Amino acid sequence: METLEEAELCFPQLFNTSCKKHKRSHSERMLTYVLMSSVSLLTVFLNLLVIISISYFRQLHNPTNLILLSLAVSDFLVGLLVMPLEILLTEPCWLLGDLVCVLYHMVPFITVTASVLNMVLISVDRYVAICDPLSHLTKITQKRVQCSVLLCWIYCVLYSFMFLLDNLKQPGRYNSCYGQCVINIMGALHLVLGFIIPISSIIILYMRVFVVAVSQARSMRSHIAAVKLQRSVTVTVKKSELKAARTLGVVVAVFLMCYCPYFCVSLSGSELIMTSSTNTFIHFLLFLNSCLNPLIYAFFYPWFRKSVKIIVTLEILQPNSCQTNVL
C-alpha cells in the first residue's frame, strides 16, 4: 500500500510535502500533445514566412509592414517557446523547479502582450491611412514606427516584471506542495491593462475606420450616379462595404474568442494552476491567436501570397531575388 501511495507522488522521497499526481486518461494526454504540437509547428511556420517575406523583399520595407513584422516576431516566439513549454504544464507534476516556473510564465507575458500591442499599432496605422490618407506618409514614418515598436517591447518586458515581481522575489511561495507551478498576479489590473484597454482601442479605431470607409463609398456612389454609372459601381461599393465589415468582424471576433476565457478566469481567480484540463484549454485558446494572426493580417495581402510562392519554390535563392516585384 505504501509503495502504491509513493508511486502517486511527484517526489516520493518528500512523502509529507510532495504533491500527488493528478491522473489523466491516455487519450486525453495524446490529444493534448498532438493538438498543441501541431498548432505550435503551424504557428512557427506561418510567422516565419511573414518574417522572411517582410525582411527580405525590399519592396515590403515600409512602416506598415514593420508593424506586421513585429507582430510576426512576437507570434513566432509564442509558437517556438511558449507552446512547447505549455505542454510541460499538462503533465501531472512540474519537475523544473520554482524559478523556472516563474521564468516560464514571464515569456508568455512578454510575447502575448507584445502581440496585443502590435495589433493596436496596426489599428492606429489603418485608422490614419483611411481617415487621414493625405497625411499618412508624414505621420506614419519609418522612424516613428521603429520607436513605437521598440517602446512596445520595452513596455512588455516592464509589464511582465511588474506583475511577476512578487513571484520572482520568492519563487514557489504560492505552491502548496512540491511539484506545483503556481503564480499569483493582480487579476483586475492585468484585465484592465492587458485586455480592456487594448480591445477597446482596437474596436473604437476599427469602428471609426468602418464608418469612414462606408461614408467614402456612399460619396463615390452619389458622384457616379451623377454621370449615370450608378449600376456598374454599386456592386463595387457593396463589395467594399462587405469586405470592410468582414475584416472588422474577423479581427474583433477572433481576438475576443481567444482572449475572453483567459481574462475572465484571471479576473475571477487570479491563480494560474497547471494540470487542469480547463486551464490547458484556456491557454491553448490564448496562444491560438498567434497562429491565426498571420492568416488574418498577412493572408489578406496579395504580396504575401506572391512572397510565399517565391520562398516555397526556392526562387528566393536566385541572385537579386530581393528586388523581385511582389506588389
Convert the pLDDT of each residue in 171-225 to its tens digit: 888 777 887 777 777 667 777 887 788 888 888 888 887 777 777 666 666 666 5
Angle at 118 between CA 278 and CA 187, to 5 degrees: 40
Q: What letter represents residue 242's amino acid?
A: L
Q: d(Cα 265, Cα 104) in Å, to the nearest integer?
A: 19
**How many domains are contained in the chain?**
1
For the cut 90, the answer to whether the pLDDT of residue 151 exceeds it is yes
Cβ proximity of 322 and 58 under 8 Å:
yes
Using alpha carbons, select from 126, 43, 54 the residue that is nearest to residue 306: 54
Angle between helices 197-226 and 230-269 (to 10 degrees): 170
In this prediction, residue 43 carries a pLDDT of: 92
Is the separation of the CB atoms in 47 and 294 below 8 Å? yes
- Segment 25-66, tens digit of pLDDT: 777 778 878 888 899 999 999 999 999 999 999 888 989 889
- Mean of the per-residue pLDDT values of the chain: 78
CA pair distance 255, 286, nearest whole angstrom: 9
8 Å CB contact between 272 and 180: no
* 56 Cβ contact list (under 8 Å, min separation 6): 307, 316, 321, 322
Rounded distance between C-alpha atoms, residue 117 and residue 284, angstroms: 20
Please report whether residue 93 resides in a domain: yes
Return d(Cα 295, Cα 248) in angstroms, integer: 14
Label the pairing between strands 271-272 and 183-184: antiparallel
pLDDT of residue 246: 61
Q: How confident is the model at residue 322 (pLDDT cuts 50, 70, 90)?
A: confident
Residue 162 lies inside a defined structural domain of this protein: yes
Average pLDDT rounded to a whole number, residues 252-278: 66
Least-confidence region, from 70-74, 80-84, 152-156 = 80-84
Q: Is residue 222 part of a domain?
A: yes
- Nearest 10 degrees: Cα torsion 109, 110, 113, 116: -140
- pLDDT the model gives residue 24: 67
What per-residue confidence (pLDDT) applies to 300? 73
Residue 75: inside a domain: yes
**Residue 109 belongs to a domain:** yes
Residue 88: give the domain boundaries: 29-323
Tell me, yes or no, whether 302 lies in a domain. yes
| Helix H or strand E encompassing 254 | helix 230-269
- Computed on alpha carbons and rounded to an integer, the radius of gyration of the chain in Å comes to 24
Contact 189, 166 (CB under 8 A): no
User: For residue 271, what is the enclosing H or E element?
Assistant: strand 271-272
Specify if 208 maps to a domain.
yes
| CA separation for the pair 201, 199 (Å, rounded) | 5
In a domain, 296, yes or no: yes
pLDDT band at 146 (very low <50, low <70, confident <90, very high): very high
Helix or strand (DSSP H, E) at 98 = helix 98-131
CB-based contact 290:73 (threshold 8 Å): no
What's 235's domain CATH number?
Answer: 1.20.1070.10
Give residue 7's pLDDT. 52
